[in-house]
Amino acid sequence: MTTMIAWWRSAALCAGLVVTGSCFAADAYPDHKVRMIVPFSAGGPTDVIGRLVAEQLSNAFGQQVYVEDLPGAGGNLGVETAKRAEPDGYTVLTVSTGFIINPSMYTTIGYDPIKDFAAVSLVAASPNVVTVHPSVPAKSLKELIDLIRASPGHYSFAQPATGSTPHLAGELFKQKFNLDMVMVPFSGAALAVNSTMGGHTPIAFTALPPAIGNIKDGSVRGIAILAKQRVVSLPELATSEEEGVPGLESDTLTGIVVPAGTPQAIIDKWHEAIAKMVADPAIKAKLNALGFIAVASSPAEFSARIKREMARWDMVVKAAGIHMD
């Protein structure tokens, strides 16, 4: 009888602690399938990274992590679905920088990136890149600035999605150097790159992955990587800072978050698995070939990055007068 009472007390104590995230049998998690929501269509960069994580962590956990693509409303539909999920570790969300920027851009939005979610880890970052049609005489960012200033209103730039970091990088470029250039939105990076390749929009701001092949084959000219360091996949392309134009650095980020209230032990288990995954040379090589840099920031580091990015892009969005309903 005494043994049974002690068992029930122990069980009750641990049950209470699980609610607060202080006690969790990490070895028992997961004991069934885990849903990974990707708030964009299949085949895009967020989906590609999400599926890579799902495949690797299915192997690591011994349980299937399956991807569910829920596109719509600039990613907001999938994010709001994840927000409403039970915070039990069986629904996770793959996010891009739209998760961070959309609260500044949409008139009404159904989530708060800080209050409604707990950061797990960044997985990959893809620096944005500036490309031009080969007929454009500028060979560097400084030369491009001079060219645009010499012909106000004459030059246009293509961007892949309104509110994306490539779009906002172009707006920041305009704001920082007081440039009169026309923004042309597209519904995808491939369309933006193709427009510049065809000479319709002489300049493009995109993430690196969709532009790599075109830069390498010379159908567009790479002007600069908007990053602190050069990338392995395109080592000959200088950074904006190397070209003497600092302050334009911007990434297209991809990471994992979970609904607020998810036990810390689950968050830690996901982070540890992701850190092990991106440390694998084969995974690093695969990401590099796609134009991504492997990252495994701690939950605290990722949370701090989200806050910094929100503050930075909020100023650009407001200055550019970007609104979405």
Buried b / exposed e over 139-173, threshold 16 CB at 10 Å, is ebbeebbebbeeeeeebbbbbbbbbbbbbbbbbbb
Domain 30-125+252-320 sits in CATH at 3.40.190.150
| CA proximity to 67, closest of 87, 104, 42, 85 | 42
C-alpha–C-alpha distance, residues 65 and 34, integer Å: 5
Is the separation of the CB atoms in 283 and 56 below 8 Å? yes
Amino acid at 156: S
The phi, psi pair for 67, rounded to 5°, reads -90, 135
Q: Which two tokens stand for residue 60?
A: 């690591």
Strand partners, 185: 159
> Would strands 117-132 and 203-207 be described as parallel, antiparallel, or unpaired?
antiparallel
CATH 3.40.190.150 region(s) of the chain? 30-125+252-320
pLDDT at 283: 94
Strand partners, 34: 65
| CA proximity to 119, closest of 320, 300, 264 | 300
Longest dimension (CA), the chain: 90
CATH 3.40.190.10 region(s) of the chain? 127-226
Q: Which two tokens stand for residue 248?
A: 């334009």
Q: What is the pTM of this model?
A: 0.84
C-alpha–C-alpha distance, residues 83 and 258, integer Å: 8
The phi, psi pair for 36, rounded to 5°, reads -110, 110
pLDDT at 211: 92
Question: What's domain 127-226's superfamily in CATH?
Answer: Periplasmic binding protein-like II (3.40.190.10)
DSSP 183-230: EEE-SSHHHHHHHHHTTSSSEEEEESGGGHHHHHHTSSEEEEEESSS-
- DSSP class of residue 292 equals -
pLDDT at 101: 95
C-alpha–C-alpha distance, residues 89 and 124, integer Å: 21
Strand partners, 259: 117
- Residue ranges in the chain whose pLDDT is less than 70: 1-26
- DSSP class of residue 154 equals T
| 3-class secondary-structure state, position 97 | coil
